[in-house]
Structure 1
Amino acid sequence: RKPADLQNLAPGTHPPFITYNGEVRTDVNKIEEFLEDVLAPPKYLKLSPKHPESNTAGMDIFAKFSAFIKNSRPEANEALERGLLKTLQKLDEYLNSPLPDEIDENSLEDVPVSTRKFLDGNEMTLADCNLLPKLHIVKVVAKKYRNFEIPKEMTGIWRYLTNAYSRDEFTNTCPGDKEIEIAYSDVAKRLTK
């Protein structure tokens, strides 16, 4: 049960939430954006993406993955896998498309493929903190319970994951593969006839 103090602060909501000037925010991403915009001291690096589309890149992957991994009907498996692949392909295309600041307007050469490390550039942002743990879970759980791997041709996604795995802030906060597999052992449904 929620303590009375919390009940009085934000009736009908569950943690995490934030109240500021009488307004309650309950969505984790909105809380992060608020903290970044309103309360971050000017000398600190901004964690919000510069490009708004970075916030929504890959946002439907986890829903497609959940439908795929929870399915127990063999006849639905192929369509659900295609749905997951389609959303992964969309993310891969975003990661491989150069952002405006990767393109030199004065150069005659085209930038055919982005080389950035993360969604919004070469530094992690809040968008990465939201997507990367989910993408890692997709990679681990889909392999274990569906023998599904993110295709190697999706070079943008693999570059993205490789760069994440090289960062202490990701690897030190990410649960181990076995821990993820155990957590999903009751969620992942066996395909039954």
Structure 2
Amino acid sequence: MADAGAVPGLTTNVALKEKPRVTVFVRSSKGGSLAASPMAHQILMVIGIKVDCGVIPESKLTITHVDDSRPMPSSLRSHGISRVPAVVIGDTGEDDPETIISLLDRHYPGGLDFPLQEEKNISDDNDSPPSCEKNEDTPEMASRDFFSRFSFCVRGITDSSEHLDVALHRLNSFLLKKQSQSYHDDQPSPWICGSKLPSLLDCEVLPKLHHVRVAGAAGLAGQWMVAEWSIPGAWPGIWCYLHSAYSMPAFIRSCPSDKEIILHWADRAGANNLPAGVKDKIAKLESDDIPKISWFVPARADMVFLD
């Protein structure tokens, strides 16, 4: 008979001892710190949440930083893996982010608000990313465009921030609606699916949103910028969402420094195409002894609703 007080997704100590070891490989910077990669941040955030919830014991987890200038570790080469982020769980190695998440949840289910199988709106043999719900006004629809629009700005594909601003405004409006709905249901939630705990989609969206916040404020949102671009302080849905991420240990531990994020996007803009002033900022960041990470928000980001 099952224990009535058991937590779904958690297993006994005996069962945990039989679970395979999880080894995560992520790219390191020249200085040895965590390099900026939204995909790596997503995977580390998922793992971090599972560790904090007791789903993955710390004794079963190893995180290895990989230097691009050196050969891939033999444990990755033996699985035919030539890129990171990658994960080796037991005898299985994967470098596809969607498959990594599926593999993690198969061996260590639970921790996130929506178990992987419950989120899927597709057959069990398909490893496509999960969906929180299925209608026109979904979290996926609200969050799907802002990152690609930002990338277009950085790469100079577009000469206007209009599409980026529209995509972020759509996300802000959706988050406000979701936060207000959860408040009136007496279950306040800052998460994009309105859930009690962060979902897999939060682990995908929040690292990307943080990249946009940091790189955009550094002037990397496009050469056409007369001044530094930033997410408007008048968009409380987004800032409340980021504030929740900055209050989460799993996000904090897996977050790269501002310097690494700016260097990541400067590389994509091209050294010869950097906006005026960005090169000086990069030089200053490289001379700083203590890495800076932007955790601040423009004002209190608590949810406030007036009846």
TM-score tier by shorter-chain length is 0.5 to 0.7
Gaps of at least 5 residues in structure 2 are 1-70, 89-93, 120-131, 220-224, 277-307
Tell me if the contact between 2:154 and 2:268 (Cα under 8 Å) persists in the aligned partners: yes
Residue 130 (str. 1) matches residue 204 (str. 2): yes
Q: Secondary structure at the match of 2:215?
A: helix
CA 1:164–1:6 in structure 2 vs 1: closer, same or farther (change >3 Å)? closer
Report Cα offsets for 1:10-43 as digits up to 9, x if no partner. 8x9977489xxxxxx874235424643x4444xx
Which residue of 1 is the match for residue 150 of structure 2?
65
Q: Within 5 Å, which residues of 2 pair with 1:1-193?
A: 16=86, 27-33=96-102, 35-36=104-105, 38-41=106-109, 44-48=110-114, 51-52=132-133, 53-71=138-156, 76-78=158-160, 81-98=161-178, 102=182, 111=184, 116-120=189-193, 121-145=195-219, 146=225, 147-188=228-269, 189-190=273-274
More helix by share: 1
Tell me if the contact between 1:57 and 1:94 (Cα under 8 Å) persists in the aligned partners: yes
CA distance in 1, matches of 2:189, 2:100: 27
Q: Offset of 1:55 from its aligned partner?
A: 4.5
CA 1:7–1:56 in structure 2 vs 1: closer, same or farther (change >3 Å)? farther
Report Cα offsets for 1:61-99 as digits up to 9, x if no partner. 11100001111x8xx422xx1111111111112211137
Report Cα offsets for 1:112-150 as digits up to 9, x if no partner. xx9522212242221111111111110111111251111
Q: What residue identity is the alignment partner of 2:192? A: L
CA distance in 2, matches of 1:33, 1:175: 24
Tell me if the contact between 1:48 and 1:127 (Cα under 8 Å) persists in the aligned partners: no
Tell me if the contact between 1:118 and 1:160 (Cα under 8 Å) persists in the aligned partners: yes
CA 1:122–1:48 in structure 2 vs 1: closer, same or farther (change >3 Å)? closer
Which residue of 2 is the match for residue 106 of structure 1?
none
CA distance in 1, matches of 2:180, 2:234: 24
Tell me if the contact between 1:33 and 1:48 (Cα under 8 Å) persists in the aligned partners: no
Query: How many residues get paired?
Result: 173
Q: Offset of 1:9 from its aligned partner?
A: 7.1
Relative contact order (C-alpha < 8 Å, sep 6+): which is higher? Answer: 1
Q: How big is the alpha-carbon RMSD for the aligned residues of Structure 1 and Structure 2?
A: 3.7
Q: Offset of 1:152 from its aligned partner?
A: 1.4
CA 1:6–1:172 in structure 2 vs 1: closer, same or farther (change >3 Å)? closer
Gaps of at least 5 residues in structure 1 are 19-24, 104-110
CA distance in 2, matches of 1:13, 1:182: 23
